Chain A
Amino acid sequence: QKEVEQNSGPLSVPEGAIASLNCTYSDRGSQSFFWYRQYSGKSPELIMFIYSNGDKEDGRFTAQLNKASQYVSLLIRDSQPSDSATYLCAVSGVSGAGSYQLTFGKGTKLSVIP
């Protein structure tokens, strides 16, 4: 059974600070890793995906992947109150059709304090 673990939070950061969200996964063969943002009462929306070890930057967001440690993180620079949401880490299956099957963590609730 694949598992994806996240600290449920809430994680509170002041406006303008860096928010760091972490995720670990159990299936060493996982190939693709995703961060989704979910506002209260809304559906999850994709923020970033990462496939290779290292960092991937997109605007204020940086995803970091360490396959040896089975660890994924998301950094949000210059945090804004509008970033307040639950962040879901998702991990894909190993190969073929299974690679489209995402397992989600329960999410970390982020609160950015003005």
Chain B
Amino acid sequence: DAGVIQSPRHEVTEMGQEVTLRCKPISGHDYLFWYRQTMMRGLELLIYFNNNVPIDDSGMPEDRFSAKMPNASFSTLKIQPSEPRDSAVYFCASSRTGGGNTIYFGEGSWLTVV
């Protein structure tokens, strides 16, 4: 079974540009999570969805960040406008009800904003 698929794997963009990160969760999983990892702050939960509905977005740093899940197999995390401090690895992860709360991570999107 395919794992969580993220794109792009690497992105370098200029400050002020819009960045869109994409995620396809594991088929059958009804929870989707967006995490951000930096050396300073570790792995932080930004937002998570259950059955395509956002449940908790309290980790989204500011209004420049937005996330959507239009259907069970696709989600996006958008940063507009991007800033150098947004440089991090963004992980998408998924889980399923009854799966023992275990979450499975994608390979991550490495974002550098210059």
Contacts and interface: CB of A to CB of B under 8 A. Distances in A.
Contact of B43 (A32, A98, A104): A104
Given A32-B100, A100-B95, A101-B56, A44 B105 contact: yes
B101 interface: yes
B25 interface: no
A103 B91 CA distance: 14
Contacts of A101: 33, 45, 48, 55-56
B101 A32 contact: yes
Contact of B31 (A31, A32, A100): A100
A25 to B, nearest CB: 14
Interface in A32-66: 32, 34, 42-46, 49
A43 B108 contact: yes
Interface in B28-66: 31, 33, 35, 41-45, 48, 50, 55-56
Given A43-B91, A43-B108, A100 B103 contact: yes
Contacts of B106: 43
Q: How large is the interface on B (under 10, 10 to 19, 20 to 34, 35 or more residues)?
A: 20 to 34
A97 interface: yes
Interface in A61-111: 88, 92, 97-107
B103 A49 contact: no
B42 A105 contact: yes
Interface residues of A, number: 22
Q: Report which residue of B42, B48, B91, B107 has the largest number of chain A beta carbons within 10 angstroms of its beta carbon.
A: B42
Contacts of A31: 101
Q: Give the residue among B48, B102, B106 with the most A Cβ atoms within 10 A.
A: B102
Interface string B1-44: 00000000000000000000000000000010101000001111
- Give the 7 A-B residue pairs with the shortest CB-CB distance, closest first: A106-B42, A43-B105, A104-B43, A32-B101, A92-B101, A100-B31, A44-B105
Given A49-B101, A104-B43, 19 more contacts: A31-B101, A32-B101, A34-B101, A42-B107, A43-B91, A43-B107, A44-B91, A44-B105, A49-B102, A92-B101, A97-B55, A100-B48, A100-B95, A100-B101, A100-B103, A101-B56, A103-B45, A105-B42, A106-B41
